[in-house]
Structure 1
Amino acid sequence: MDITNNTILITGGSAGIGFEIAKAFTAAGNKVIITGRDQQRLDEALLQLPGATGFKGDISSEADTEALVAVLLKDFPTLNIVVNNAGQAYKYNIAEPSNAFEKAQDEMLTNYLAVVRLNEKLLPQLKAQSSAAIVNVTSIVALVPGQLTTYSASKAALHSYSQSLRIALERSSGQVKVFELMPPLVNTSFSAIINGHNGIPAAEVATDLITALEKDEYEIHVGNTRYIYELSLSSPEEALTLMNPVA
């Protein structure tokens, strides 16, 4: 894909991986729209993204999603890339009373179902472009579950959905490509609950995404995700142990 002169939506783009992706795309000469739930953080991010536009909203909210889609259709008719990055995660022990259902419901809605809803609503607009792409941000835990139980399950669902959507769009429209970005542990405030300071810089994830888009590499294994994927095939038990160290 051409990584310049695109109109790009990035959900959860005011911090962490989403913000670094927004920075990379802005620097490459694209029109960028970011979403975020916190207006102050959104404003602070936009100060560092020349020409970018912000939309305050929660992607897990149907009303906010409808409002976002209306804005995109009216003000950004050339939208051709959607990066589904917004996420939710809780760390809890599923073997103990922990309101697991409520946490799981929130994570599955934000990390999986909301992505399905937004993609479905934006596909007509994407199909109208000569070249378009959807980027679903999953994680290494989509392949081997880690310490964040339902987060892992939600990313596994998104991984499966991404593969199915890629096949369906290849057979129907042809011009809408589906990419899956699989980061390992990344040093962001989002990952602080699982010692994210040990992770790779978020800018590295953004760089790998840009490179993969240029080469049309649909499954993007960032950092050590390729090693863990291959380990999961040769020694599933060892991969699980690696991803779930004893505290």
Structure 2
Amino acid sequence: MNITNKTVLVTGGGSGIGYAIAENLISKGNKVIIVGRTESKLKTAADSLKDVTAIRCDLTNENDVQNLVDTLTSEYPELSVLINNAGLVADTKNGTATDFDRATEEFATNYFSVIRLIEKLLPLLKSQEEAAIVNVSSISAYSPHHLIATYCDSKAALHSYTKSLRFILEKDTHVKVFDLLPPMVNTDMTKDFGGEAGLAPSQVAKELMTAMENDEYEIHVAQTADFVKLYLSSPTEAFQMMNGSH
């Protein structure tokens, strides 16, 4: 698909992968709107990116989301690309990776908020001649890491949902659905569990741009395609590799 001269919404655009995606989109001549729950982080990102609109929104809050949708519908009726990047790994220092409260918090941001935002913006996206939804999942959707088990669960749910959404929308709409599946990425979110050794967000963003231009709907970033092949041949070996016991 063509990813120039479009109006794009990037959730979680204040830092990390979302910031890098916004930066790439701006360089291609797109009008970019970034959304996040932290005002200071959004302001810093907007000051750095310059050609961007920043809107504070807690995507787990129904009123915030409705206000966002109302603003987009009235002020940006040409919106044609939604990038659901906002994500959360609950505190890894307190409790265990299977705590109920932790799972609830992660699913609220990583899964349920995505479904709600898509549902509310789908009529607008369907009205465009060409449109796209990008859901940022994770390679851990295939096989979990034990330290962030419920985070991986939420990404597995998102990966499954994205496949079904694509199947439904490709039948009779112009809305393309992409699934971005990066490995560990060096962001603020991953710093407590080895993220410094991960990929640069800029690499993830660059590969997303290329995949969208080539209509590659399931995007295995860097060497993650090899991990998927391993998973398909031996889920047990893939789990062992993910958890450092292979």
Q: What range describes the TM-score normalised by the shorter chain of this pair?
A: over 0.9
CA RMSD, aligned part only? 1.6
Show CA shifts across 1:58-114 (max 9, x none).
1111111111101100110000000000011126599x7678111111111110011
Q: Following TM superposition, where does structure 1 have runs of at least 4 consecutive aligned residues deviating by more than 6 angstroms?
A: 96-99
Aligned residues: 244
Q: Where in structure 2 are there 5+ consecutive unaligned residues? A: none
CA distance in 2, matches of 1:104, 1:172: 35
1:78-227 equivalent positions in 2, closer than 5 A: 78-90=78-90, 92=92, 100-146=99-145, 147-173=147-173, 175-227=174-226
1:92-140 CA deviation, whole Å, 9 max, x = no partner? Answer: 599x767811111111111001100000000000000000000000000
Query: Which amino acid in 2 is paired with 1:103?
Result: R
TM-score by length of 2: 0.95
Q: Does 1:228 align with 2:227?
A: yes
Q: 1:213 to 1:112 in 2, by over 3 A?
A: same
Whether 1:3 aligns to 2:3 is: yes
Structure 1: stretches of 5+ with no match in the other structure: none
Q: CA deviation digits over 1:163-200, x for unaligned, max 9?
A: 00001001132x00000000000011111121100101
Alignment deviations for residues 204-224 of structure 1 (CA, whole Å, 9 cap, x no partner): 000000000100000000012
Q: Which amino acid aligns with 1:185?
A: M
* Residue in structure 2 matched with residue 46 of structure 1 by the alignment: 46
How many Å separate the matches in 1 of 2:91 and 2:69? Answer: 32
Query: What residue in structure 2 maps to residue 238 of structure 1?
Result: 237
Alignment check: 8 A CA contact 1:26 1:50 kept: no
TM value normalised by structure 1: 0.95
Mapped to 2, the partners of 1:19 and 1:91 lie a distance apart of 22
